[in-house]
């Protein structure tokens, strides 16, 4: 310390010891890092205040110039202006080098001005926040020409004072704007007496070099006048800094027409004073890198050397400078307590985070509570109600107006009070404004009101119920969204179990919420509140989850589907079906139209076991080698082990600090390997969960791990986003081999069955095969080359090879990219086949069955598919998951398939049961008999049997032997009860029902038989074929007449009165024949394109033709002339149908559009279509393949990708029935228009009955 400074301090020592309170001053000096905590404690250990003051001065005398300056500033900040003036004249100067360290680059001029003005030094640990500092300086420059106010506001501990002081460390700013200097005054919470003392101290400091002495002002008014005189006359262009202002009364005392910079938590205080005003908000905390830098400076480490807990502390406190500084100072004293202080934050133990610096409050909770304490009592109660808000959730005032039972305008006034006092934040980027709490504020409220949490949540629910008695809001605004998103949350946290059951077990709630917010939020409710719901009724919760899993994608469609109609497809035992049926019956009485799927009981749920081992998304699951255990892992960082038979938990491991992306059993089942987004690989004992080894060589997240299949040489393979695959000998501490070659992330890797090779699958679009013994690349297959190159106007999409697997014999390898699985010959690298799934989904995982030719595929649209590799056919759809399916794995013996999903479940499926149940499916070409209440369905299955089924029960009445050639068509005759089938090889068979005796085998067609039909008397069978002919059979005698004349395949025919027949063909002609004489009565060239459909009017006087030339035509049988050409379709016209009164004709095209025409004059009456195209770029999910009018002509049914019923008069949809599959070929309609039968493209039979 300079001698003159030491002498000055010694001269003033007696006055200092008599007046100062050392503990207050030392807080500032510790913050300036000129005193240590140990030195502070030694001083505090003295018994009396005077002894403490003496000990502090002794300590300062042994230190340097910085300590003297810090002591001087502390005197000013604590109101000892008269004592500070004794030291001012001998303030030491510091060297440029030291100055740079002490003042962060400020010049000697800046140092002098700030020291004289009592501006606090930078804290010992300081990180610059240039954006905010520059904003404050920008506002200060606006005071250059005259008086005014700059307000720096923000919540407790956000660094307002430090930022204000730092903004002044600028020589240009000081010289240009404030050449008269700056004066810092720490204010805080004051009564009138305290305010008078503060102003007296400031006046004394400003007037201390005056030759004339003035008595201290005796009142605030006198002190204010004295201060005005000094600021305007003696310091006319100076800046007054008022730090930590709480009260408008205090602030008014400084309204003296000077330049003022003030820091406060209450933004509205400046409204009470006059003059120009500017403000700067410091509402956001430190950026993560800045906060980590603060912690690193406190503990004297590089940022890269900080433990993971450092980042989590910053995340937990949202970068609050106060919290970061408090914890940093504590860690400087206790460097091993990172985890301890993180836990205190997480557990809201704010009292444990006590000051170790000069901050004004003893602990974090005190710093936060003081802002609330100044509120009026009614406002305190309102503020407590905010305890129930979720973190990071912004709420509109209308929500709180429901909670507080106030007008929205009154609520906004209350919220403005909170915003002004930095107790609440407002998002002004949206209208209406949204309000939210900082995480620390919310944590503090939760801790303060921890015994009232349940009560506060209950209050929210009861106020909602009081306000919305008739049902939830459906306005779609932010208030509406809040209630749909968080009402269940409030019920659960309020322990309102009955209310939660009533809400979530309501199909009406599901309908309304899904319409407003989409299905994802609905699905999440059943996952999030599962444990609470299961206490009431697990089966009902399962009912709703199953319903949403099957129909979630439907609920995203626009127009929004009818939820009650979707619910009618659920099993009759389901609560969803019960509610849907009840609502359907109620609405039917009001004229609505609903269909019940009456034969659905013949379908069964195929998942054998559903387990929910994780509390978050499950990314991977796998069987042990003996098939008795399953390990799963996911986003919650844990690994769970459970039995494969019952799902009983065996083991839980907190495996990684980040998401666990994969897990694998060793070939002897003794070990489990895990890999994570934290870049680590860990080896665990699979019985006890003990960690054996950790590998940390990958530089990015590790995506996959797999052990060798055999025990003779156990290796572990891993692959990572760093582009490398590695092999590990688990008995060694480092990797054995690193495979270089991929240019981007490696997503998956797997050993060949004999462990000789390793396949790796990468985002660079390639599959590579490596020799395991040498680590060298053996083969590389460019998957990207199998996708077409994008055109110039289409943006290129990366081909990411997501996953793959080996066949059981090692001869083939599959690789999945986008929506395609490629099958390659390993030896030749030749592409053998491709499996293409839905183009609207992406493949997440795939696996080869170890005992067969099946491939399992997990898809992003919530399903698992099974494909037969040889036939390249999908043989099963496994539905049940509620979200993306990330993983599929077969058990070692191939009998069980598991799947894991974002819905937090692992599902197990019996391979044979799934395969068998799904593979016995019907073909779409069918015939149906409606006989009073009986429904009989005839169709071929995909194993090439002809089946006769009871439509109501699904029971198989008759099944033929497997046919040598594919069955292409079939038909029924009621009297006698026989069935006919037509085959691809041209053969026709007539079978007696139900005994199955083959009555006739009719040969003559040389190609596929496309359609067959018995005449009304049952004595004649007529068939048409791809061989261009029509044959009329006496099926008992095998006699045959051939109708020849078409030049292309004959798709279909219609039997007319007077033993005539109308046929049409791809050759563009319609022909009329005599069935008795085989004579061609009329040959009409109707269209330039193929004729796709014809229909005859019920009165037999007209017929219509529909063509690929995008037109339809109406013809007369009298002259066979065209009456009307119906133009306007923009795609092939694929179907047509007359109304029963002969007045209308409906036509449907390949865009899914339906038009209704006047059959009398050919004018267009109306268009039946929805507002927008669906996901298949159609108005009907595909081509419109069939049309039928109701007998009264009021309704129309159409088939395409699904079934729709229309109001003919309005052209509006009455109802839509979504089938599991698509591409319906047609539909059979009962005469009373109450029963409807069809088969979809995956072979499911639908018998639908109108609800009455």
For residue range 825-881, list pLDDT tens digits in order: 999 999 999 999 877 678 999 999 998 889 999 988 778 889 988 888 888 778 777
Q: How far apart are CA 325 and CA 334, in angstroms?
A: 14
Question: In terms of C-beta density within 10 A (0-12 exposed, 13-18 middle, 19 or more buried), how is residue 174 classed?
Answer: buried
Residue 794 pLDDT > 60: no
Element (H, E) at 25: helix 22-31
Q: 1151: which 2 tokens?
A: 């865009």
Residue 183 pLDDT > 70: yes
For residue range 1079-1123, list pLDDT tens digits in order: 999 999 999 999 999 999 999 999 999 999 999 999 999 999 999
Mean pLDDT confidence for 371-397: 88
Q: How far apart are CA 1239 and CA 1228, in angstroms?
A: 10
Q: 733: which 2 tokens?
A: 């501490």
* Range in 881-885, 1119-1123, 1164-1168 the model is least confident about: 881-885
Using alpha carbons, select from 845, 855, 974 the residue that is nearest to residue 900: 845
pLDDT score recorded for residue 213: 55
Contact indicator for 678, 696 with CB cutoff of 8 Å: no
pLDDT score recorded for residue 323: 77
Q: Which residues of 238-255 are buried (b: 16+ CB within 10 A; e: fewer)?
A: bbbbbbbbbbeebbebbb
* Range in 113-122, 308-317, 754-763 the model is least confident about: 113-122
Q: 925: which 2 tokens?
A: 């070409």
pLDDT score recorded for residue 698: 95
Using alpha carbons, select from 813, 711, 832, 713 the residue that is nearest to residue 770: 813
Contact indicator for 182, 293 with CB cutoff of 8 Å: no
> Which of the residue ranges 370-384, 554-568, 571-585, 942-956 has the most confident prediction, judged by mean pLDDT?
571-585
Using alpha carbons, select from 896, 923, 925, 899 the residue that is nearest to residue 911: 896
Mean pLDDT of the chain: 88
568 vs 323, higher pLDDT = 568
Report the largest interatomic distance among the alpha carbons of the chain, rounded to a whole angstrom.
141
Helix (H, G, I), strand (E, B) or coil at 522: helix
1231 vs 195, higher pLDDT = 1231
For residue range 426-452, list pLDDT tens digits in order: 877 778 889 988 777 788 888 889 899
Position of tokens 């598991």?
898
pLDDT score recorded for residue 1196: 97
For residue range 1181-1217, list pLDDT tens digits in order: 889 999 999 999 999 999 998 999 999 999 999 999 9
pLDDT score recorded for residue 605: 55
Q: How far apart are CA 923 and CA 1040, in angstroms?
A: 28
**Structure confidence at residue 1018 as a pLDDT band (50, 70, 90):** very high
Q: What is the model's pTM?
A: 0.67
Contact indicator for 1101, 1123 with CB cutoff of 8 Å: no
Locate the DSSP E strands across 826-902: 831-836, 843-848, 854-859, 864-868, 873-878, 885-890, 896-901
What does each C-alpha distance from 32 to 35, 71, 123, 606, 749 come to in angstroms?
Answer: 8, 10, 5, 70, 56
pLDDT score recorded for residue 1078: 93
Q: How far apart are CA 597 and CA 595, in angstroms?
A: 7
pLDDT score recorded for residue 350: 58
**Structure confidence at residue 1063 as a pLDDT band (50, 70, 90):** very high
pLDDT score recorded for residue 210: 61
Q: How far apart are CA 425 and CA 432, in angstroms?
A: 14
For residue range 224-241, list pLDDT tens digits in order: 888 998 888 888 899 999
In percent, the amount of the chain with pLDDT more than 70 equals 92
For residue range 62-101, list pLDDT tens digits in order: 888 878 888 887 887 777 777 887 887 777 755 443 444 4
Q: How far apart are CA 31 and CA 40, in angstroms?
A: 11
Task: Kindly report whether the peptide bond that precedes residue 36 is cis, defined as omega within 30 degrees of 0.
Answer: no
For residue range 357-380, list pLDDT tens digits in order: 444 445 556 656 766 877 889 999
What does each C-alpha distance from 105 to 87, 98, 172 come to in angstroms?
Answer: 25, 10, 13
Q: 1166: which 2 tokens?
A: 């109306």
Element (H, E) at 65: helix 65-77
> Using alpha carbons only, what angle is made at residue 1031 by residues 1027 and 1036, rounded to the nearest 5 degrees?
135
**Structure confidence at residue 1177 as a pLDDT band (50, 70, 90):** low
pLDDT score recorded for residue 97: 39
Q: 432: which 2 tokens?
A: 């209406």
433: Cβ–Cβ under 8 A, 6 or more apart, which residues?
Answer: 396, 397, 412, 426, 427
Question: In terms of C-beta density within 10 A (0-12 exposed, 13-18 middle, 19 or more buried), how is residue 164 classed?
Answer: buried
DSSP-assigned letter for residue 121: P
For residue range 323-355, list pLDDT tens digits in order: 777 777 677 777 888 888 888 777 766 555 554
Q: How far apart are CA 183 and CA 197, in angstroms?
A: 16
Task: Kindly report whether the peptide bond that precedes residue 432 is cis, defined as omega within 30 degrees of 0.
Answer: yes
What does each C-alpha distance from 1068 to 292, 720, 1085, 1107 come to in angstroms?
Answer: 78, 60, 6, 8
């Amino acid at each position: 310390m300079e001698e003159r400074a030491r002498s000055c301090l010694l001269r003033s020592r007696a006055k200092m010891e008599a007046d100062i309170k050392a503990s207050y001053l030392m807080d500032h000096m510790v913050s300036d890092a000129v005193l240590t905590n140990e030195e502070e404690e030694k001083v505090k250990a003295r018994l009396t205040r005077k002894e403490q003051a003496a000990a502090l001065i002794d300590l300062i005398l042994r230190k340097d110039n910085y300590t003297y300056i810090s002591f001087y500033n502390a005197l000013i900040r604590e109101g000892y202006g008269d004592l500070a003036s004794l030291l001012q004249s001998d303030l030491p100067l510091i060297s440029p080098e030291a100055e740079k360290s002490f003042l962060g680059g400020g010049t000697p001029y800046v140092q002098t001005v700030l020291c004289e003005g009592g501006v606090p030094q930078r804290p010992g640990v300081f990180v610059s926040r240039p954006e905010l500092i520059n904003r404050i300086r920008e506002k200060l420059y606006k005071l250059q020409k005259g008086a005014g106010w700059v307000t720096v506001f923000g919540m407790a501990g956000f660094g307002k004072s430090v930022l204000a002081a730092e903004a002044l460390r600028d020589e240009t700013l000081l010289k240009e704007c404030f050449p008269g200097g700056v004066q810092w005054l720490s204010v805080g919470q004051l009564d009138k007496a305290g305010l008078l003392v503060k102003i007296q101290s400031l006046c004394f400091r400003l007037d201390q070099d005056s030759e004339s002495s003035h008595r201290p002002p005796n009142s605030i008014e006198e002190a204010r006048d004295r201060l005005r005189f000094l600021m305007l006359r003696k310091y006319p262009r100076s800046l007054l800094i008022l730090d930590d202002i709480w009260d408008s009364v205090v602030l008014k005392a400084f309204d003296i027409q000077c330049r003022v910079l003030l820091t406060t938590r209450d933004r509205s205080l400046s409204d009470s004073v006059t003059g120009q005003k500017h403000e700067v908000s410091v509402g956001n905390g430190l950026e993560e890198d800045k906060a980590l830098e603060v912690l690193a400076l406190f503990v004297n480490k590089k940022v890269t050397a900080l433990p993971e807990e450092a980042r989590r502390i910053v995340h937990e406190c949202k970068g609050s400078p106060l919290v970061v500084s408090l914890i940093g100072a504590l860690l400087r004293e206790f460097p091993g307590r990172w985890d301890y202080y993180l836990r205190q934050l997480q557990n809201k133990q704010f009292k444990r985070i006590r000051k170790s610096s000069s901050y004004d409050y003893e602990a974090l909770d005190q710093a936060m509570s003081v802002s609330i304490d100044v509120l009026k009592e009614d406002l305190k109660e309102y503020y407590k109600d905010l305890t129930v808000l979720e973190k990071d959730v912004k709420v509109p005032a209308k929500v709180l107006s429901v909670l507080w039972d106030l007008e929205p305008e009154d609520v906004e006034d209350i919220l403005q009070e909170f915003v002004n006092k930095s107790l609440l934040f407002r998002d002004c980027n949206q209208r209406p404004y949204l309000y939210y709490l900082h995480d620390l504020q919310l944590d503090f409220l939760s801790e303060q009101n921890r015994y009232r949490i349940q009560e506060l949540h209950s209050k929210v629910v009861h106020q909602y119920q009081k306000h919305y008695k008739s049902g939830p809001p459906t306005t779609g605004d932010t208030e509406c969204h809040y209630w749909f998103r968080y009402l269940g949350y409030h019920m659960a946290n309020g322990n309102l179990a009955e209310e939660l059951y009533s809400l979530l077990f309501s199909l009406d709630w599901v309908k309304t919420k899904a319409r407003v917010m989409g299905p994802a939020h609905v699905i999440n409710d059943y996952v999030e509140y599962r444990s609470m719901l299961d206490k009431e009724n697990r089966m009902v919760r399962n009912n709703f989850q199953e319903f949403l899993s099957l129909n979630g994608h439907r609920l995203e469609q626009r127009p929004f589907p009818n939820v009650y109609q979707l619910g009618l497809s659920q099993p009759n035992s389901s609560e969803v079906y019960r509610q849907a049926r009840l609502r359907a019956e109620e609405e039917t009485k009001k004229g609505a139209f609903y269909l019940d799927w009456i034969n659905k009981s013949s379908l069964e749920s195929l998942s054998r076991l559903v387990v929910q081992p994780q509390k978050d998304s499950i990314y991977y699951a796998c069987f042990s080698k003996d098939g008795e255990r399953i390990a799963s892992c996911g986003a919650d960082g844990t690994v769970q082990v459970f039995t494969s038979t019952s799902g009983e938990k065996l083991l839980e491991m907190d495996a990684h600090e980040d998401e666990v992306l994969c897990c694998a059993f060793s070939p002897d089942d003794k070990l489990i390997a895990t890999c994570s987004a934290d870049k680590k690989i860990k080896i665990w004992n699979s019985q006890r969960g003990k960690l054996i080894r950790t590998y940390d060589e990958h530089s990015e997240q590790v995506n996959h791990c797999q052990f060798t299949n055999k025990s003779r040489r156990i290796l572990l393979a891993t692959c990572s986003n760093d582009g490398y695959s590695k092999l590990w000998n688990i008995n060694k501490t480092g990797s054995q081999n690193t495979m270089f070659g991929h240019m981007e992330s490696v997503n998956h890797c797997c050993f060949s069955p004999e462990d000789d090779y390793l396949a790796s699958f990468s985002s660079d679009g390639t599959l590579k095969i490596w020799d395991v013994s040498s680590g060298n690349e053996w083969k590389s297959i460019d998957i990207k080359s199998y996708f077409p190159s994008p055109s110039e106007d289409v943006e290129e999409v990366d081909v990411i090879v997501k996953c793959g697997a080996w066949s059981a014999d090692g001869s083939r390898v599959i690789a999945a990219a986008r929506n395609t699985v490629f099958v390659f010959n390993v030896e030749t690298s030749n592409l053998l086949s491709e499996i293409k799934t839905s183009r609207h989904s992406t493949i997440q995982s795939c696996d080869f069955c170890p005992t067969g030719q099946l491939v399992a595929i997990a898809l992003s649209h919530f399903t698992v598919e099974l494909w037969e590799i040889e036939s390249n056919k999908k043989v099963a759809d496994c539905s049940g998951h509620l979200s993306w399916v990330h993983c599929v794995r077969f058990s070692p013996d191939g009998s069980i398939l598991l799947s894991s999903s974002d819905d937090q479940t692992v599902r197990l499926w019996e391979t044979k049961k799934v395969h068998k149940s799904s593979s016995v499916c019907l073909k779409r070409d069918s015939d149906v008999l409606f006989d009073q209440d009986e429904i009989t369905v005839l169709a071929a299955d995909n194993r090439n049997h002809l089946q006769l089924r009871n439509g109501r029960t699904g029971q198989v009445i008759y099944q033929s032997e497997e046919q040598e050639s594919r069955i292409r068509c079939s038909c029924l005759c009621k009297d006698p009860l026989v069935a006919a089938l037509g085959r691809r090889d041209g053969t026709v068979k007539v079978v007696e029902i139900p005994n199955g005796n083959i009555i006739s085998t009719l040969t003559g067609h040389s190609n596929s038989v496309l359609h067959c039909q018995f005449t009304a008397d049952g004595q004649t069978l007529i068939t048409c074929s791809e061989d261009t002919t029509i044959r009329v059979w006496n099926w008992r005698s095998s006699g045959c007449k051939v109708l020849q004349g078409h030049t292309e395949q004959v798709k279909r025919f219609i039997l007319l009165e007077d033993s005539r027949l109308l046929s049409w063909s791809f050759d563009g002609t319609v022909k009329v024949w005599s069935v008795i004489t085989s004579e061609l009565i009329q040959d009409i060239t109707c269209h330039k394109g193929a004729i796709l459909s014809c229909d005859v009017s019920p009165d037999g006087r007209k017929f219509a033709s529909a063509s690929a030339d995008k037109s339809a035509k109406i013809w007369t049988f009298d002259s066979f002339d065209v009456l009307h050409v119906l133009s306007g379709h923009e795609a092939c016209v694929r179907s047509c149908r007359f109304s029963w009164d002969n007045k209308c004709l409906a036509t449907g095209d390949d865009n899914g559009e339906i038009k209704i025409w006047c059959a009398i004059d050919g004018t267009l009456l109306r268009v039946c279509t929805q507002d927008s195209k669906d996901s298949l770029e159609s108005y009907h999910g595909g081509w419109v393949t069939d049309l039928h009018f109701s007998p009264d002509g009021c309704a129309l049914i159409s088939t395409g990708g699904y079934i729709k019923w229309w109001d003919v008069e309005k052209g509006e949809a009455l109802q839509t029935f979504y089938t599991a599959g698509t591409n319906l070929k047609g539909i059979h309609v009962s005469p009373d228009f109450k029963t409807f039968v069809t088969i979809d493209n995956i072979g499911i039979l639908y018998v639908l009955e109108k609800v009455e």
